[in-house]
A and B are shown apart, each in its own frame.
Chain A
Amino acid sequence: MKKLLENRNVTGWLMVSPLAAVLLVFLVMPIALIVIVSFWRATEFSIIPAFEWDNYAFLFGSPVTYTVFFNTFKYAFITWAFTLIIGFTVAYYLAFHIRSLTWQVALFLLCTIPFWTSNIIRMISWIPFLGRNGIANSTMMSWGVIDEPVEWLLFSDFAVILAFVHLYTLFMVVPIFNTMMRIDKSLIEAARDAGANGAQILWNVIIPLTKPGIMIGTIFVVTLVMGDFITVRFMSGSQSANVGRLISNDIALLQYPSASATAIVLLATVLITIGILLRFVDIRKEL
């Protein structure tokens, strides 16, 4: 018995067993079940075990699928571009322009606190800004930029992307800031001594060294946007669709097999995207 407890494999698995149990029951088994159900047949009232490719055939045969997948990638790409530019700039400012650690921590916390508050409420809070009689419209009208309220502010792709950027920029700021804080300041001094100007230091020293953080942020933002179904529904006023909404519509109609097939294709897409991104970074080293 004592010998058994000295074996690191045994003690390791003992200590990790609660974690493994949770992941098995609430992650592995549900995914396996989704795979199985995606081959089942649905009637109006129930779902019947079967093994047929009809759900996938229907999915790939429908033009809606391609539009919706294109939309999903479009949201992911545009959101990624904005969150990267904003997140990088904010992290750069915090890491290299703020000189005392106390202020760095304080301002960093200021950026992360919204992450711990409700996403739904943060979405709702755009209504008074973007609505027909909202702040944006009335301000622009009083400035004479426009003559009558712009209709496309709320309930549009614009609103969807604005909400995504609002919700998820933190996921860029945190990992990029984390990597930047670990850059050896003497490298930057060396670059300056060697005659590099600010832009050259940024481009040739800081950005290459920040790449792992950028990759981790990218993984977060891309997966969150690709898997989303609430933000798109709420901010587009049900006028736009992404894959997540396609799935949730099927679920609402109790079409579980077709929802499962779409979910599997979405999961495969997300995992392939991440697989490509992971080629550029070793996450375990970066923590």
Chain B
Amino acid sequence: MEPRPRSFYVLSAFFALFVLFLYGPTLTIGILSFQGEGGGLTFPMRGVSMYWFYDLFEQQAVGDIWGSFRRSIFLGLMVMVTTVVVSVMGGLAFRKKFAGSGILFYLIITALVIPSILISLGIGLLFSQSGLNVHWSTSGFGAQLTWTLPFGLLIMFAVFNRFDKSFEEAARDLGASPWQTIRHVVLPIIAPSLIGVALFGFTLSYDEFARTLLTAGSYNTLPLEIYGMTTNVTSPVLYALGTLTTLFSLLIIGGFLALALLSNQRKARAGSDAGKGV
């Protein structure tokens, strides 16, 4: 191996600073959430305690944290399943270059780049003008899909751009029906990427704020609840909640990544029998 140029060390330092910039603040509130009972929103730490976590579990005066947590998880799962199914169908459809696919593609891009407040405002107006009540599971659900579906579809486009069509042709040559080709050939090949789509679907929904703001109705999701807390809670209990939900997010992300790794390994093991003959 050739020796590392000096720029490598400069850039390594830059990268380390960038990672510190990304994670530093979150780690800080992680530490500060263990603030002692008399402590405030910043250093110094007045002792180390779990006080603010207990506080979080006990006091319910500020709102309905646990209810909003349950709603957020449930909504996240709804959005995740829908995103995966709709993105796969959409990804498969877009390979056909059907008439009007160009317009649909630009609609997807529009959904991605449109300022979130327009989605919030527009869906809010749509529901109020048609006499429906906004609710997190209807209008909130739809609003979040306009954010998660474009990501899911972009991933699917990227996957199918790299997809080797000869596998499908081979399956068809062996007499597989279109459904069998998809079920036994296409889906197993793209499965690891679907885990990625699911990860985007769940986490983007679980943390979504701007598009849910006017569309969640009277029952808040967790990010809305947290945002509400920022205006009237000025104790480290805010950090305790932040730490817990970040840990939960990391747990979910870790789970999905492990799953993707496993399924990639499984694919590498079972995918080809090259070299197994005589």
Tell me the count of chain A residues lying within 8 A, CB to CB, of chain B: 83
In this complex, which of B4, B25, B97 has the most chain A Cβ atoms within 10 angstroms of its Cβ? B25
Binary per-residue interface labels of chain B (1-31) against chain A in the complex, 1 for a CB within 8 Å, 0 otherwise: 1001101100110110011011111101100
Q: Is B245 an interface residue (CB 8 A)?
A: yes
Q: Is B104 an interface residue (CB 8 A)?
A: yes
Which residues of chain A have C-beta atoms less than 8 A from B134's C-beta? none
Complex: how many Å from CA A37 to CA B21? 43
**B111 adjacent to A27 (CB under 8 Å):** yes
Q: Is B249 an interface residue (CB 8 A)?
A: yes
Determine how close the nearest CB of chain B comes to the CB of A148; give it in whole angstroms: 16
**A116 adjacent to B101 (CB under 8 Å):** no
**A259 adjacent to B121 (CB under 8 Å):** yes
Q: Is B99 an interface residue (CB 8 A)?
A: yes
Which residues of chain B have C-beta atoms less than 8 A from A30's C-beta? 118-119, 121-123, 125-126
Q: Is B52 an interface residue (CB 8 A)?
A: no
Complex: how many Å from CA A226 to CA B116? 10
Given A111-B19, A244-B117, answer yes or no on A120-B199 (Cβ-Cβ < 8 Å): no
**B42 adjacent to A270 (CB under 8 Å):** no
Q: Is A161 an interface residue (CB 8 A)?
A: no
Find the A residue at minimum CB distance from B87: A19
**A19 adjacent to B146 (CB under 8 Å):** no
**B114 adjacent to A287 (CB under 8 Å):** no
Complex: how many Å from CA A96 to CA B206? 35
Contact of A219 among B89, B113, B157, B238 (CB under 8 A): B113
Which residues of chain B have C-beta atoms less than 8 A from A239's C-beta? none
Complex: how many Å from CA A251 to CA B125? 10
Binary per-residue interface labels of chain A (127-150) against chain B in the complex, 1 for a CB within 8 Å, 0 otherwise: 111010111001000000000000
Q: Is A48 an interface residue (CB 8 A)?
A: no
**A16 adjacent to B93 (CB under 8 Å):** yes
Which residues of chain A have C-beta atoms less than 8 A from B257's C-beta? 109
Determine how close the nearest CB of chain A comes to the CB of B89; give it in whole angstroms: 5
Which residues of chain B have C-beta atoms less than 8 A from A114's C-beta? 22-23, 26
Binary per-residue interface labels of chain A (110-124) against chain B in the complex, 1 for a CB within 8 Å, 0 otherwise: 110110111111101
Contact of B242 among A89, A109, A124, A131 (CB under 8 A): A124
B residues contacting A by CB (< 8 A) are: 1, 4-5, 7-8, 11-12, 14-15, 18-19, 21-26, 28-29, 32, 41-43, 85-86, 89-90, 92-94, 96-101, 104-105, 107-119, 121-126, 129, 142-143, 145-146, 149, 153-154, 157-158, 161, 199-200, 203-204, 206-207, 209-210, 214, 223, 226-227, 230, 238-239, 242, 245-246, 249-250, 252-253, 257
What are 28 contact pairs spanning A and B, CB under 8 A? A8-B96, A15-B93, A16-B104, A18-B90, A22-B142, A22-B145, A22-B149, A26-B145, A30-B122, A33-B129, A34-B122, A114-B26, A116-B203, A118-B207, A118-B209, A118-B242, A121-B246, A128-B29, A133-B42, A135-B42, A198-B5, A228-B115, A229-B117, A230-B210, A230-B227, A256-B121, A266-B115, A270-B115
6 extra A-B contacts, CB within 8 A, seeds A16-B89, A33-B122 = A15-B90, A23-B107, A30-B126, A93-B15, A120-B230, A284-B157
The 4 A-B pairs with the shortest beta carbon distances in the complex, nearest first, are A30-B122, A227-B115, A12-B98, A125-B25
